Structure 1
Amino acid sequence: MSDGFLFLDQYVTVEAEARPHSQKEGILKRITIILAILLGIELFYYVGIVPFLPLASVRLNSVQGIPRDDLLRYAGINESTSYMSLNAAKVSETLRSIPSIASVSIIKHFPNSVDIVVTERTAVAVSLAKVSGKLVPIYIDRQGVVFKVGGEINSALPLVSGLVFDQVVPGIKLPGYLKNFFASLELLEKNNPALLQTISEFRIQQKTYGGYELVIYPANHMGKVRLGSELNEEVLRYMMLVLDVLASKGIQTDEIDFRTGTISYRTKEASSG
């Protein structure tokens, strides 16, 4: 009998120890389920609701002459615009239609913010055109786009003449064959601005059967210089060297022609080659 009582005592003890353990497991399961439900609700809110709510942040760099609110309004972004409703391609296309804007980069950050980086056009040359009977400055970028008409003339920019316009409005593009010329001006400005400052005027002379030639008016020398369509630092350096040599010999030229392999020049009194 004593053995039987001993067995019963052991059984009761084991059962008593197992009961709290099973209760702990039950509590942990309930906590886990509650946490999973809460996490699911939060995930649903984050993924299924927040992207449809108004944007929390729109980061946009400033654009000269255009207030931020006007820029956003033009792009169609307002207080109700959400991550899901914002069409990045359409916004980019709309902003790029503004003449002074060269490119637009849009990065959407899930779930409710967006970065808009606007790159403005930079003038590489200035020209003059008649608008309402008056000569006004027009500003041209490296791609040959007229993006600004009027205002104060920027004398630090190269002056380009000989351009022909059907109409003068911001956003017009000059003929494609002039694109390399304006790109060359930008490169000269970056690499050797002092050399570019030695030129008073670049004149575009249209050729009869298409294309163009350059007529250059140096700032510190009399007369003009005829070039082909190629413009780079080497050409300008060589041109200035020849001008300095002629000036040192007391030769005042009316015109120098660099279009062929042999340099020819004309003085005010006679021609020489």
Structure 2
Amino acid sequence: MADIVAGETYVSRAPADHPKTTQRVLIVAIIVLSAVIVGQLAYYLILAPRLAISTVTLTNETRLGDEQLLSLAGVRIGMPFFHANPAAIAEAISRHPEVRDAAVSRRFPGSLDIAVTRRVALAGGLVQTDSGTRTLIFDEDGVVFQIGSADSAHTLPVVSGLRFPEASIGLQLPDLVVAFLQELRAFKLNNPELYELFSEYRIVRKNDYAYDIVLYPMHFPVPVRMGASISADMVQYVLMMLDMLRSEGVLHTVAELDVRTGDGIVRYREARDGR
């Protein structure tokens, strides 16, 4: 119906039906949410329990058997897919001293991938214990993951001067030793030709916070006393000094070469004129 006001025509309209529109939106939202909830309940109560681990792909770099690793991980074919927690499995495997790292992932609908990285031997340690001398094999983190006779470490440089009440798999070497081992690993990676020229690295502990390293060259019968650090420049200087002493024909009279101050100090087995 039109109303005439001041010569103009206005059309009156019925108010919009907002309450009914809002009600329809709420009904649709409730239906959608209900469907989602029902779907999730059906998934977790019906479908999920039927999902199981059917395939395990294991990449194993260690000496441990596959069955032993799976036992450590608590993994078996047929276990519920969602019970296989990748983080928990990786942590369980990594507790074994021979394992350096473990990576675990799930693949829907029933696969589990496990990759296990082994510890790499950096050196063998001749360790004095209350029960005698033992040979320990450890990596650059100072974790002992193998114990054997001296023959088991014949291809590795020897770190000596260590003493423990008893030796066992999983033994963690002291922080002082670990710091040196990490430096030794870097030296090995960057200068393999120099690293292989020494058969033994002896740790001489001065106190709880300091130590010296005594190197035993394979081709010179003279021990070399260094500080707590090892570098390619210092090793090359040592080799030059030893070669010079051999050229002079006095190498057999040398008891020790000391380079802790940066300059080579020669200590002879007995006094010599002018020395």
Using the size of structure 1 for normalisation, the TM-score is 0.76
Which residue of the partner structure matches residue 262 of structure 1?
263
SS at 1:135's partner residue? Answer: strand
Give CA-to-partner distance per residue, 1:192-221, whole Å, 9 cap, x none: 333222212110001125221101111111
Note closer, same or farther for the CA distance 1:52–1:187 as it changes in structure 2 (3 Å cut).
Answer: farther
Residue pair 1:125, 1:185 contacting (<8 A) in 2 also: no
Asked whether 1:211 is paired with 2:247, we answer no
Structure 2: distance between partners of 1:153 and 1:132: 21
Residue pair 2:241, 2:264 contacting (<8 A) in 1 also: no
Which residue of the partner structure matches residue 175 of structure 1?
174
Give the Å deviation of 1:236: 1.3
Structure 2: distance between partners of 1:150 and 1:132: 16
Aligned-partner residue type, residue 137 of structure 1: T
SS at 1:139's partner residue? Answer: strand
Alignment of 1:1-273 (within 5 A): 49=47, 52-129=50-127, 133-150=131-148, 152-252=151-251, 253-270=254-271
How well do the aligned residues superpose, as a CA RMSD in angstroms?
Answer: 2.6
Note closer, same or farther for the CA distance 1:61–1:235 as it changes in structure 2 (3 Å cut).
Answer: same
Which residue of the partner structure matches residue 32 of structure 2?
none
Give the Å deviation of 1:48: 6.4
Q: Which moved more, 1:90-99 or 1:189-198?
A: 189-198
Residue pair 1:227, 1:259 contacting (<8 A) in 2 also: yes
In structure 1, the gaps of 5 or more residues are 1-40
Give CA-to-partner distance per residue, 1:45-88, whole Å, 9 cap, x none: 79962575221221111243321112101211113323210122
Structure 2: distance between partners of 1:215 and 1:88: 45
Structure 2: distance between partners of 1:138 and 1:145: 10
Residue pair 1:216, 1:225 contacting (<8 A) in 2 also: yes
Give the Å deviation of 1:115: 1.2
Residue pair 1:256, 1:265 contacting (<8 A) in 2 also: yes
Give the Å deviation of 1:153: 2.0
Note closer, same or farther for the CA distance 1:55–1:163 as it changes in structure 2 (3 Å cut).
Answer: same
Give the Å deviation of 1:110: 2.6
SS at 1:95's partner residue? Answer: helix
Give CA-to-partner distance per residue, 1:156-178, whole Å, 9 cap, x none: 21111001223211111111122
SS at 2:75's partner residue? Answer: coil
Structure 2: distance between partners of 1:236 and 1:262: 12
SS at 1:241's partner residue? Answer: helix
Number of positions where the alignment pairs a residue of Structure 1 with one of Structure 2:
232
Structure 2: distance between partners of 1:73 and 1:203: 39
Q: Which moved more, 1:181-190 or 1:128-137?
A: 128-137
Residue pair 1:216, 1:224 contacting (<8 A) in 2 also: yes
Residue pair 2:62, 2:99 contacting (<8 A) in 1 also: no
Give the Å deviation of 1:136: 3.4
SS at 1:187's partner residue? Answer: helix
Using the size of structure 2 for normalisation, the TM-score is 0.76
SS at 1:99's partner residue? Answer: coil
Structure ranking higher in strand proportion: 2
Note closer, same or farther for the CA distance 1:198–1:231 as it changes in structure 2 (3 Å cut).
Answer: same
Aligned-partner residue type, residue 111 of structure 1: P
Give the Å deviation of 1:134: 4.9
Residue pair 1:51, 1:110 contacting (<8 A) in 2 also: no
